[in-house]
Amino acid sequence: MKTTFLRLALIVSALAGFGCASVPHGRLASDLTKVNTPAPAPMLASYPLLASATDVLSPARMQRAIGAIQVGIASFYHSSLAGNLTANGDHYDEGALTAAHRTLDLGTRVRVTNLENHRSVVVTVNDRGPYAKGRIIDLSRRAASVLGFVHDGVTKVKVEPLT
């Protein structure tokens, strides 16, 4: 996990130019706030910017690392879908800890944390979706129960892929 943060810190630092901005001719350093400069990434401030040559990521892996953690709305499968085939060929089981995600590889395990009550559960992505606008993950009924939002139907969550 620490290696992932180091890689992400290296990527963000390289893209942001280590937080440095050039001052156009005739401007004072105090005018930097008026120049369109990217905001620093506060989440990465506590991680050292050390990396070896083996930590260089391919463009595809770099894109996945940058967008790995997501925050958004989760929902869960309706009971009428029990037994239907999922994208990986399994039958949907309400009692399993599974999920549908649009972009994560099938078989990826993710930790989903309910941001309203701080409960979390680890699920395996075995389907594609959700297709409802504004939602980032669909969970099995059991996963929604563990997270405590079956009665509400939807909740705000954080989705973290596990390595």
Same domain, 98 and 157: yes
158's tokens: 């954080």
Helix axes 59-66, 2-16, angle to 10 degrees: 100
Whole-prediction pTM: 0.59
Domain with 55 in it: 2-65
Q: How far apart are the first and last CA of the chain?
A: 7
Same domain, 55 and 98: no
- The C-alpha atoms of residue 85 and residue 160 are separated, in whole angstroms, by 25
Domain termination site, one of 17, 46, 65: 65
Gyration radius of the chain's alpha carbons: 20
Domain termination site, one of 65, 88, 115: 65
**Burial environment of residue 154 by CB neighbours within 10 A (0 to 12, 13 to 18, 19 or more):** middle
pLDDT at position 23 is: 39
Same domain, 85 and 59: no
What is the band of 8 on the pLDDT scale with cuts at 50, 70, 90? low
Same domain, 45 and 89: no
Same domain, 73 and 55: no
Rounded mean pLDDT of the chain? 74
Output the domain CATH number for residue 106.
Answer: 2.40.40.10
Q: What is the pLDDT of residues 63-121, one digit of tens each?
A: 554 458 999 999 999 888 999 999 999 999 999 999 999 999 999 999 999 999 999 99
Does the structure show a pLDDT above 60 at 140? yes
Same domain, 42 and 86: no
- Structural domains in the chain (count): 2
DSSP string, 9-30: HHHHHHHHGGG--PPPTT--GG
Same domain, 90 and 143: yes
